[in-house]
Amino acid sequence: MTVDDHDSTGDDAAGDGSLTTEETFALVGDEVRAEILRALSAERGGEGELPSLSFSELRERVDADVRSSQFNYHLQRLVDHFVENRAEGTAQLIEDVVPSDDDGYALRPEGTTLTRTIRARTGTGEGSLDPVAVGLDCYHCGTAVEATYDNATFVLQCPDCEYLYEYDLVPPGILDGEAETLSRAAEYVRHVRLAFARGVCPLCGNAVDTSFDPPGETGYPRPDLRAVCVNRSCDHCGHRNYLKVGEALLRDPDLVSFCRERGLDVTSTPIWELAFAATDRDVDVRSTDPWEVALEVELDGETLELVVDGNLAVVERNYA
């Protein structure tokens, strides 16, 4: 469908206030409306009350070269979708934290989510990180593994055998405070992986689909060093993630406590330092139809074996 920006009444096709993806892109694609959202987001800050701006304050902050009536037209296009006019009531979610005499304009939760997403991925310049050793010898060939960050992508790879440890879209905020970049990248990657592992899209909260893909068909380097790639994908927003079986099981309470009791905290150790999660060397594909895949974690001479089915549900637990 097409959206005629200026002839539209602003009504949505469904009539329930919701917008299609196309309508949303069209709505925020205008310069004045984008500036309104930016100004309200800048006002919000990270603490205290959820502030609002009066019409004149907002117009002053936006500093757009448009007549008042035109500015109001753009502002009203956003109201009820990304912006609320508190004179007409406040989103139920936040009404308890808004002063009752507040009658300005502020971001709705949808506007907050949108502007946070944009701010998280922009505004810090073209951040990059030259190859830096992460203090890990490649599990396959012993060469020092290196991390890089470029084009908003965090990559951890062995420069010799090319085994890929991490390849993730990560916001440039990890570069803020150079010394902590690696630990922050590790935490961010874990956060995304564990959401997918638990079956929830970390971007949109939808349930995800699961498939076990042959490594040779994924485009990943060195498929010969992989047993299977667990693909979790969200058909709502398109987010997806390839998990190693060990990564997918990092949320398993038995695995967490088995490791903890033997001095290994898998909740804080970077995933690339956990051999059972960073490689497939402890993974055994028992069956492909139906899928049955075993992971063996060995610590201090004892082993925990977890077996998952094609939906990543643990169907067997064996201690030895």
Three-state DSSP class for 274?
Answer: coil
Stretch that binds Zn ion, among 90-98, 233-241, 283-291, 297-305 (CB under 5 A): 233-241
Q: Assess contact for 234 and 199: CB atoms under 8 A.
A: no
Which is nearer to Zn ion, 39 or 138 (by Cβ)? 138
How many residues of this chain interact with Zn ion, rule: CB under 5 A?
Answer: 16
Which is nearer to Zn ion, 140 or 262 (by Cβ)? 140
Going by the DSSP 8-state scheme, the letter that residue 262 receives in this structure is T
Which is nearer to Zn ion, 152 or 161 (by Cβ)? 161
Site for Zn ion in 153-192 (CB under 5 A): 158, 160-161, 163
Q: How far is the CB of 143 from Zn ion (least distance, A)?
A: 5
Binder among 234, 245, 249, 306 for Zn ion (CB under 5 A):
234
Binder among 33, 74, 232, 239 for Zn ion (CB under 5 A):
239
| Contact call for residue 140 and Zn ion (CB under 5 A) | yes
Which is nearer to Zn ion, 24 or 143 (by Cβ)? 143
User: Closest by alpha carbon to 113, among 85, 81, 73, 153?
Assistant: 81
| Contact call for residue 141 and Zn ion (CB under 5 A) | yes
Token representation of residue 162: 């090319």
How far apart, in whole angstroms, are the C-alpha atoms of residue 308 and residue 246? 11
Q: How far is the CB of 266 from Zn ion (least distance, A)?
A: 23
How far apart, in whole angstroms, are the C-alpha atoms of residue 18 and residue 21? 10
| Contact call for residue 134 and Zn ion (CB under 5 A) | no
Stretch that binds Zn ion, among 30-38, 115-123, 130-138, 254-262 (CB under 5 A): 130-138
Q: How far is the CB of 243 from Zn ion (least distance, A)?
A: 15
User: Closest by alpha carbon to 167, among 236, 234, 229?
Assistant: 229
Token representation of residue 136: 């890990």
Long-range contacts of 296-303 (CB under 8 A, 24+ apart): 297/246, 297/255, 297/258, 297/259, 299/258, 299/259, 299/262, 299/263, 299/264, 300/262, 302/262
Token representation of residue 153: 């992508």
Binder among 136, 138, 255, 278 for Zn ion (CB under 5 A):
138
Contact residues for Zn ion (CB under 5 A)?
138, 140-141, 143, 158, 160-161, 163, 201, 203-204, 206, 234, 236-237, 239
